[in-house]
Amino acid sequence: MMSADSILAALTDGIMKEQGAGLTPHDRRQVAEYLTGAPLDANKPRLSPPRCTGEASRFDEAQAPVALGWGHENARFTPEKVAGLKRADVPRLELKWALEFPGAIRARSQPAIAYGAVYVGSQDGTVYALDLHTGCVRWSYRNSAEVRTAIVLETRQTSGGTNSTVTGISRLFFGDMNARVHAVDAKQGKALWSVKVDDHPNATITGTPTFHDGVLYVPVSSLEVTTAADAKYECCKFRGAVVALNADTGTVRWKAHTITEEPKPVRTTSLGTRIFAPSGAPVWNSPTIDAKRGVLYVGSGENYSSPANDRSDALLAFRLRDGKLVWSRQLLAGDAWNVACMMQNNPNCPDENGPDVDLASGTILDTLPSGKEVLLAGQKNGFVYAVDPDAGGNVVWKTRVGRGGIQGGIHFGMALEGHRLFAPISDLKDGHDGRSYDSPPRPGLYALDAATGKPIWSAPAEDDCKGRRFCDPGISAAVTAIPGVVLAGHMDGVLRAYDSETGRVIWKYDSTREVRTVSGATAHGGSFGGPGPVVRDGYIVVNSGYGLYFHMPGNVLLVFAPPQRIAFQDTQSKNCRSMSFARHARIGGTSRSWKAVF
């Protein structure tokens, strides 16, 4: 259940702003209190996480951002030097600390790690900078709408080929549910600029903006697909887009729509409601930058209204310089769908009636052993593709690994280690879509050869749901790889680590259990959905909770690491000894000075 203040925020400035527009502030407050059965003041958190002091409050310049993962690239592989973890460390992982998101039922903002801090957004719009080692709060910034994207930290390429922050202010970026992009000072938590990238009332930002060479490339999606459930609503006028912003100022450099022509009235329903087309083709994923070819790649979703056109369920290449469409390759034709199709005899349902199988996962550019480059893509129909970026996206190979469906197939992100591609499959037992499928669901994790598409191994998901409501065994969230390991959060609330050579599970953690958080309050996770784990400096950081679309709610950020064994030197006796990491001012009743020896 959402808290009263979260519902009020949604009706005022958030996802339900359109529905709340006709209500007075008093009415919106009454709605929020009625739905939760509690006054707004009752939802104020009784306990707050501690503020950092001393060393924990310091931002470590030696731990500058690295250009890995969402916001920079989509391969989702973290090398050992950055991860600070080896395969042998993973079975020893233990929970170090947890943060509660008060009043939330979902946690959909992927964290980022830099400067010895964890940066993460939340459902109520709060963005936190937390000490990586303890979870204390260095600063917090309250945005007016839910932050669903990853937090993107600015990097700049130096002449030596390494990434470093721009001189002066260190910036972070994120998008919110109201289609606004924000820049915030990463050290101070102060707003720098904010810009709305689309004026459609249902526009939103789901995919993470990608930072490259001083520009943010922002994918734009929308919730008009749900608004169309109202049979009196004129469906549909939204078109997916990518917007290029100057990262220094937020100024728009260019905007390119997935559908070139503007929607026009094409028919009238039996209720007298006008239908507009072409529409839809939202961009749910983070753009992939191809600096060598001077383009970026995105995948599109379904059309929202009939007739479907050739830009839905397609891969599109836009020129970095000006947003000109270089090529598009439709991977499935005739996909037009909206939520009206889940209702009986709703005239807003397109004639095609789906199947709603977006290209929702970010694409991955891979250079094969032959030297040939391919673009790898996953789709909700359960197919994985390799296409040729030099031949207009011609399909090199395609392999079906899942059954697919509206809540099936590949959702938020694959990972690539070397030339081994890891494809997570959602495939709900009951997609709640009223459809019949020609094959059983195949939830789990699958490894493919990126050069050929041939399966290397399969790891069908174990079903530990035991009848729990909204529990499913599959993997909707993005997966993350480190050398020898793939980390995958399942919809049953269990975070699993797979051996990347064999697919065997080598460690797991049930996030649905209650944990004591850094504030002293208890909280629990739920289904993993959207963001995947982030790994750096020996820590794994991940959100748990996805209380939407028939998934289990939760509201925690979880931080794992193996038990630390650090050599400490007694500067008085000169003896060196190994001990679990701790700070001791007095040993055996004697005051001594200690320092770590790495």
Q: What is the pLDDT of residue 432?
A: 78
Pairing of strands 485-489, 494-499: antiparallel
Mean pLDDT, the chain, rounded, equals 90
Q: For position 2, what pLDDT does the model report?
A: 54
Which domains, from first to last, does the chain contain?
Answer: 1-44 (no CATH), 198-352 (2.40.10.480), 567-598 (no CATH)
pLDDT on residue 42: 54
**96: β partners:** none
The pLDDT, as a whole number, for residue 596 is 31
Share of residues in the chain with pLDDT > 70 (%): 89
Residues 6+ apart with CB under 8 A from 544: 107, 489, 493, 495, 511, 512, 525, 526, 527, 528, 554, 556, 557, 558
pLDDT of residue 101: 95
Per residue in 478-489, pLDDT (tens digit) is 999 999 999 999
In the Cβ-directed half-sphere of 535, how many Cα atoms lie within 13 Å? Answer: 29
179-198 mean pLDDT:
97
**pLDDT(158) > 50:** no
Whether residue 581 is predicted with pLDDT greater than 70 in this model: the reply is no
> What DSSP character marks residue 264?
E
Does 358 score more than 80 pLDDT? yes
Cα 345 vs. chain centroid, distance in angstroms? 34
Token pair of 295 as six digits: 């383009």
For residues 256-266, average pLDDT:
98
| Residue 510, C-beta contacts closer than 8 angstroms, at least 6 positions apart | 493, 494
What residues contact 106, with CB distance under 8 A and at least 6 apart?
123, 526, 529, 545, 546, 547, 548, 553, 554, 555
Give the 3-state DSSP-derived string for 445-497, with helices as H, strands as E and coil as C: EEEEECCCCCEEEEEECCCCCCCCCCCCCCCCCCCEEECCEEEEECCCCEEEE
- Whether the predicted pLDDT of 593 surpasses 60: no
Q: What is the pLDDT averaged over residues 300-322?
A: 98
Strand, coil or helix: 6: helix
pLDDT band at 45 (very low <50, low <70, confident <90, very high): low
Phi and psi angles of residue 62, each rounded to the nearest 5 degrees, phi first: -70, -15
pLDDT band at 26; cut points 50, 70, 90:
confident
The answer to whether residues 247 and 214 touch, using CB atoms and an 8 Å cutoff, is yes
Lowest mean pLDDT among 187-196, 252-261, 509-518, 589-598: 589-598
User: Are the C-beta atoms of 434 and 342 separated by less than 8 Å?
Assistant: yes
Mean pLDDT, rounded, for 287-311: 98
Give the pLDDT score at 417: 98
Nearest one of 332, 350, 331, 330 to 340, comparing CA atoms: 350
Sign of CA dihedral 84, 89, 91, 97: negative
Question: Given pLDDT bands bounded at 50, 70 and 90, which one contains residue 19?
Answer: confident
Please give the pLDDT value at position 131. 98
Greatest Cα pair distance in the chain = 89
Q: Round to whole Å and give the CA distance between 300 and 361.
A: 10
Per-residue confidence band for 583, with pLDDT thresholds at 50, 70 and 90: very low
Please report which confidence band the pLDDT of residue 163 belongs to, taking 50, 70 and 90 as the band edges.
very low
pLDDT band for position 12 (cuts 50, 70, 90): confident
Task: Quote the pTM value.
Answer: 0.89
Cβ atoms of 491 and 473 closer than 8 Å? yes
More confident residue, 440 or 18: 440
CA gap 598, 592 in Å, rounded: 19
Q: Name the CA dihedral angle for 436, 442, 443, 447, rounded to a multiple of 10 degrees.
A: -140
Confidence of residue 162 (pLDDT cuts 50, 70, 90): very low
pLDDT given for residue 371 in this prediction: 96
Orientation of helix 4-12 relative to helix 25-36, angle to 10°: 140
Q: Which residues contact 160 (CB under 8 A, 6 or more apart)?
A: none
**pLDDT tens column, 101-113:** 998 999 999 999 9
What is the residue whose two structure tokens read 């709605």?
Answer: 31
Task: Calculate the CA 343 to chain-centre distance.
Answer: 29
Least Cα distance to 242 among 291, 297, 195 occurs for 297
Structure tokens at 413: 């992100």
Predicted confidence band of residue 298 (pLDDT cuts 50, 70, 90): very high
CA–CA distances in Å: residue 547 to residues 203, 426, 510, 529: 21, 16, 17, 9
Residue 273, class by beta-carbon neighbours within 10 Å (0-12 exposed, 13-18 middle, 19+ buried)?
middle
Above 80 in pLDDT, residue 41? no
- Which pLDDT value is given to residue 164? 39
What tens digit of pLDDT does each residue of 135-145 get? 999 999 999 89
Question: Cβ distance 70 to 480 under 8 Å?
Answer: no
Alpha-carbon distance of 442 to 450, in angstroms, equals 20
3-state secondary structure of 148: coil
* Residue 403 neighbours by CB under 8 Å, 6+ apart: 382, 409, 427, 437, 439, 440, 441, 442
User: Is the confidence at residue 526, as pLDDT, over 80?
Assistant: yes
